């Protein structure tokens, strides 16, 4: 089959690789019809390079049709239409039983001390082949894949793999009062979808970014916006729009931004020259992240408010303003989305004819797998008015 593979920092290629096979009785093989490109893939593209192995199949936002099931699978049939959550959860361990699917104890990674294994996410998360491919092996097939109805186009459902439950969890964790103001840092796919979900609940939303078409898109759906490059101080601007107090809650949908950050880019280059044993711990602790969005979030939230962190951060060197956080009595919630925890809650909005979250207009670029290398580069550079890319293998 054809698959999108990582070959080195900023090097993606489409290769012919062996078809996946059933390895465990509870596996299924899914033929992928639509599969997303995500901001998280950009972390693998460059900053997480030391955890990647050339040839790794990337991607974690797939949906498709079940082509084969193992002998232990009873609930899923060949021909079923499914979306595959990005985190691999067994559904029956201690953490899964508590809805903490991104922490699944069955698939946790003891080598790096990380949570549930993820599709297409390097050795840091279990080195499981990803979903930007023609076929995908899906473990725990009786629990993990989300069955979706026949009829509506893939775009209605494909974002159940990541974007929708992630944005949903961000809004849930932000816990913004119905009459409050929610600030969202970042108008990429995740921030945009979080804005849609919050506005669907009637919450006032302000979104911050610097990419004009991304700001225009959230504005067109009713959000207020702040252009990062047009204000001196985001938090000050937010306070001026909220009676001096700040936002009731903030969602950080940015995360580490290595690209365009000279310190980070230097670190990434240096790491490529070092042996793994030195490079891996360095990348886990290096100050290569630009934590601007996180610091602005902590500043812009009102006293007693909540910061909900969806953006992925990898470094540890930039000190957190603990005095400010303590003094303002903040709550901070974060983590990988517990995808399976939210899928049933979201489904009614996806089968609603009115498409209240606008899933059918969410994709800006629909491309064959063969165009993945260009798509990665353009998505990283925010070129071509690219906001959400899906591949159609
Ligand atoms: P993206 O890279 O397309 O979007 C990030 C946006 O942030 C860009 O539009 C960029 O212009 C903007 N930005 C950069 N610096 C900023 C700043 N200082 N203030 C405000 N905006 C700024 O990525 P995405 O697909 O929307 O994902 C966003 C983040 O969410 C990534 O870090 C991704 O890894 C993470 N993510 C987390 C989960 C999870 O389970 N928690 C799941 C999916 C994605
Ligand atoms: Zn994703
Ligand atoms: Zn589990």
Provide the pairing of β-strand 247-252 with 181-185. parallel
Ligand nearest to C-alpha 92:
3
Q: Which H/E stretch holds residue 361? A: none
Atom 17, ligand 1: which residue's CA is nearest?
293
Atom number in ligand 1 closest to CA 42:
2
pLDDT score of 255: 85
With b for 16 or more beta-carbon neighbours within 10 A and e for fewer, the 101-140 pattern comes to bbbbbbbbbeeeebbbbbbbbbbbbbbbbbbbbbbbbbbb
Greater pLDDT, 39 or 290: 39
Question: How many angstroms is it from 236 CA to the middle of ligand 2?
Answer: 31
Question: How many angstroms is it from 186 CA to the middle of ligand 1?
Answer: 6
Atom 7, ligand 1: which residue's CA is nearest?
186
Torsion of CA 39, 388, 371, 382, to 10 degrees: -70
pLDDT score of 277: 66
Q: Contacts from 96-102 at CB under 8 Å and sequence distance 24+?
A: 96/340, 99/338, 99/341, 100/338, 100/341, 101/338, 101/339, 101/340, 101/341, 102/335, 102/336, 102/337, 102/338, 102/339
Could you tell me which of 158, 138, 152, 19 has the C-alpha nearest to residue 76? 138
Q: Is the pLDDT of residue 286 over 60?
A: no
Atom number in ligand 1 closest to CA 187:
9
Q: Which residues contact residue 105 at a Cβ distance below 8 angstroms, ignoring those fewer than 6 apart?
A: 93, 94, 95, 96
Total Cβ atoms within 10 A of residue 15: 13
pLDDT score of 21: 98
Residue with tokens 């499914």: 82
Q: What topology is assigned to 2-162+337-391 in CATH? A: Quinone Oxidoreductase; Chain A, domain 1 (3.90.180)
Q: Where are the domains of the chain?
A: 2-162+337-391, 167-256+291-334
Q: Which residues contact residue 353 at a Cβ distance below 8 angstroms, ignoring those fewer than 6 apart?
A: none
The tens digit of pLDDT for each residue in 307-326 reads 999 998 765 556 678 899 99
Backbone torsion region of residue 118, taken as left when φ is above 0, otherwise alpha when ψ lies between -120 and 50, otherwise beta: beta
As given in the structure block, the two tokens for residue 160 are 């159940």
pLDDT score of 268: 59
Atom 30, ligand 1: which residue's CA is nearest?
311
Task: Please list every protein residue whose CB sits less than 6 Å from any atom of ligand 1.
Answer: 38-40, 42-43, 162, 166, 185-191, 208-211, 214, 228, 253-255, 257, 292-293, 310-312, 336-337
Over range 351-361, report the average pLDDT: 98
Total Cβ atoms within 10 A of residue 258: 23
Atom 14, ligand 1: which residue's CA is nearest?
254
Ligand nearest to C-alpha 188:
1
What CATH number was assigned to the domain covering residues 167-256+291-334?
A: 3.40.50.720
Ligand nearest to C-alpha 103:
3
Number of H helices, E strands in the chain: 13, 16
273 pLDDT band, cuts 50/70/90, is: low
Q: Which of 46, 125, 255, 307 to mutate to test the pocket of ligand 1 (most atoms within 8 A of CB)?
A: 255
The tens digit of pLDDT for each residue in 157-197 reads 999 999 999 999 999 999 999 999 999 999 999 999 999 99
Q: Which H/E stretch holds residue 334? A: strand 331-334
Q: Which chain residues have CB less than 5 Å from ligand 2, an ion?
A: 38, 40, 162
pLDDT score of 314: 66
Q: Determine the distance from the C-alpha atom of residue 199 to the mean position of all C-alpha atoms in its chain, rounded to a whole number.
A: 20
Question: How many angstroms is it from 370 CA to the middle of ligand 3?
Answer: 35
pLDDT score of 375: 98
Atom 2, ligand 1: which residue's CA is nearest?
39
Could you tell me which of 337, 300, 26 has the C-alpha nearest to residue 160? 337
pLDDT score of 364: 98
50 pLDDT band, cuts 50/70/90, is: confident
Residue with tokens 């067994």: 90
Question: What is the overall mean pLDDT for the chain?
Answer: 92
pLDDT score of 274: 62
d(CA 296, CA 302): 12
pLDDT score of 349: 98
The tens digit of pLDDT for each residue in 76-92 reads 999 999 999 999 999 99
pLDDT score of 216: 98
Atom 23, ligand 1: which residue's CA is nearest?
39
Whether 2-162+337-391 shares its CATH topology with 167-256+291-334 is answered: no
């Amino acid at each position: 089959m054809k698959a999108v593979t990582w070959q080195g920092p900023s090097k993606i290629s489409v290769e012919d690789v062996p078809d996946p096979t059933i390895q465990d009785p509870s596996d299924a093989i899914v033929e992928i019809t639509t599969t997303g490109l995500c901001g998280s893939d950009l972390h693998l593209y460059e900053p997480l390079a030391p955890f990647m192995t050339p040839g790794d199949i990337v991607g974690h936002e797939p949906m498709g049709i079940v082509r084969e099931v193992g002998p232990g699978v009873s609930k899923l049939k060949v021909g079923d239409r499914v979306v595959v959550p990005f985190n691999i959860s067994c559904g029956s361990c201690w953490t899964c039983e508590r809805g903490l699917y991104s922490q699944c104890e069955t698939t946790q990674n003891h080598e790096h001390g990380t949570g549930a294994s993820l599709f297409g996410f390097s050795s840091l998360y279990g080195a499981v082949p990803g979903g930007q491919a023609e076929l995908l092996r899906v473990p725990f097939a009786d629990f993990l894949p989300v069955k979706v109805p026949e009829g509506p186009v893939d775009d209605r459902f494909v974002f159940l793999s990541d974007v929708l439950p992630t944005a949903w969890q961000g809004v849930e964790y932000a816990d913004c009062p119905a009459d409050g103001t929610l600030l969202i840092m970042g108008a990429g796919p995740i921030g945009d979808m979080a804005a849609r979900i919050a506005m669907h609940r009637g919450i006032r939303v302000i979104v911050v970014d610097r990419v004009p078409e991304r700001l225009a898109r959230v504005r067109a759906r009713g959000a207020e916006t702040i252009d990062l490059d047009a204000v001196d101080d985001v938090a000050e601007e937010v306070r001026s729009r909220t009676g001096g107090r700040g936002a009731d809650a903030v969602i950080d949908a940015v995360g580490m931004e290595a690209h365009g950050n000279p310190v980070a880019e230097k670190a990434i280059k240096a790491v490529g020259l070092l042996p793994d044993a030195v490079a891996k711990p360095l990348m886990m602790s290096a100050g290569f992240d630009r934590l601007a969005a996180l610091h602005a979030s902590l500043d812009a939230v009102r006293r007693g408010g909540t910061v909900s962190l969806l953006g992925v951060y990898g470094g540890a060197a930039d000190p957190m303003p603990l005095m400010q956080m303590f003094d303002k009595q903040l709550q901070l919630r974060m983590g990988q989305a517990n995808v399976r925890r939210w899928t049933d809650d979201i489904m009614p909005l996806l089968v609603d004819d009115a498409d209240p979250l606008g899933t059918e207009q969410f994709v800006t670029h629909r491309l064959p797998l063969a165009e993945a290398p260009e798509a990665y580069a353009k998505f990283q550079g925010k070129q071509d008015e690219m906001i959400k890319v899906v591949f159609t293998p």
